[in-house]
Homo-oligomer: A and B are copies of this chain.
Amino acid sequence: MGFFAVVSPPAALERLRDALAAREAGREEVPLAGARGRVAAADTLARSDVPGFARSIVDGYAVRAQDTFGAGPEQPAYFELAGEVSMGRAAGVEVSAGQAVTIATGGMLPAGADAVVMLEHTSELGGGTVEVLRAVGPGENVMAADEDLGAGQVVVPSGRRLAPADLGALAAAGVTRVEVFVPPRVALFSTGDELVRPEATPRPGQVRDVNAVTLAAALERDGARVSAPAIVADREEELGQAIAGACREVDLVLLSGGSSVGRADLVARVLDGLGPPGVLAHGLGIRPGKPTVVAACGQVAVLGLPGHPVSALIVYEVLVRPLLRWLAGEEGRLWEPAVSARLDRNVPVKGGSEEYLRVVLSPGEDGLWAAPVLGKSGAVSTLARADGLVRVPASRRGLHRGDAVEVKLLRW
């Protein structure tokens, strides 16, 4: 049973990656305006040079650099004002020896010129004469036609989750459509005879299916495509049929339910019956979240999360979210943002297992303070209170007031 001993979340992720190594994510092409948050499926190349023409990067005068050689505050050079570059147009003038042309930042360098003297190093003397108080070298204050990006150069690498700035760089490079991975498709099942749909009014003994709501929202936040959550009875045959059916349509099946011992075993039995590779880990070495079953059915990941909404959400953040990023084809930039805070009280920690504390943050005089969320086991009212999670290593036996902690934020 060694293989089925509890494993850490990174080890569980590793086993899933190994089991799903043959999986290939689909690709599609989307317009730039719909590409935010999608993952590039290929290195995306510039379609044209940027800026596409030699361009001034300052306000000033376009000149031939050689005509300014030796110019300085004590020994100005004098130029004949030969015209002006209009923004957005090909420069209509040509700069000859001893001539200067007015140009603004972003203006196209006129033919003949090879540099720009900044406005603050000049003065206009009237009568069409410009005094230059500083020499410029060839190319100074000019961006060459392909200097920012050359056509064919990689703008955004494959595996990048596209942020607003990435889209801007792609737009600049003439890219209007981008090849992205199809997002992971996820089926969401809640198991438990006590569950009713969130919209229903529970009868005595029944409770609303909270996980359907939290997990669907978290999956949506993280860019997955979620099918409508369903409640499945806690019976081997029905559960097996539901999962097997879903495995033909999705990349990930998320079950929740089974925090009690017997139910987790039922889920494990069902998952092992679905065909290889079956159960990869039975139990996660974290608290809360231990009764988690990790499995794969062909190239589909199947996870059985605890039924308790707080535990399910913690396992989601710690294991499912990193898995989704991998399934989505995301590479690099995988760090999770956190804020630094100090604990506002002593916290007893059982030790022996990695523990996740939910905390509420509040600003103090010299930084943020983190207060652990307290509440009876199973309380859903505490769900809404936490701002983030603090990971406590298995080796810790307790935390003290004032201890520095890193709080991984629970994002909306």
Residues of A at the B interface (CB closer than 8 Å) are 32-33, 36-37, 48, 50-53, 55, 57, 59, 85-91, 104-108, 143, 147-149, 153, 155-156, 160-174, 176, 192-195, 198-199, 201-218, 220-221, 234, 259-262, 307, 309, 313, 333, 335, 337-340, 361, 363, 368, 376-381, 383-384, 386-387, 409-412
Q: Per a CB cutoff under 8 Å, which of B172, B193, B210, B259 touches A172?
A: B210
Chain B residues closer than 8 Å to A307, beta-carbon distance: 106
A195 CA to B172 CA in the complex, in Å? Answer: 11
Chain B residues closer than 8 Å to A149, beta-carbon distance: 380-381
Report whether A379 and B148 are in contact in the complex, using a CB–CB cutoff of 8 Å. Answer: yes
Counting from the closest, the 10 A-B pairs by CB-CB distance are: A337-B337, A168-B214, A164-B217, A88-B194, A169-B384, A108-B205, A163-B412, A90-B204, A88-B193, A172-B380
Report whether B172 and A199 are in contact in the complex, using a CB–CB cutoff of 8 Å. Answer: no
Main secondary structure of the interface of A (DSSP, over half): loop
Report whether B384 and A156 are in contact in the complex, using a CB–CB cutoff of 8 Å. Answer: yes
Chain B residues closer than 8 Å to A173, beta-carbon distance: 381
Report whether B412 and A155 are in contact in the complex, using a CB–CB cutoff of 8 Å. Answer: no
A313 CA to B203 CA in the complex, in Å? Answer: 53
A148-B380, A169-B384 known, 15 other contacts, Cβ within 8 Å = A32-B213, A53-B204, A86-B193, A88-B205, A89-B204, A105-B259, A149-B381, A163-B412, A164-B215, A164-B412, A168-B217, A171-B214, A172-B381, A335-B363, A340-B340
Are A174 and B193 CB-contacts (below 8 A) given A339-B338, A376-B143, A412-B36? Answer: no
Which chain B residue shows the least CB distance to A362? B332
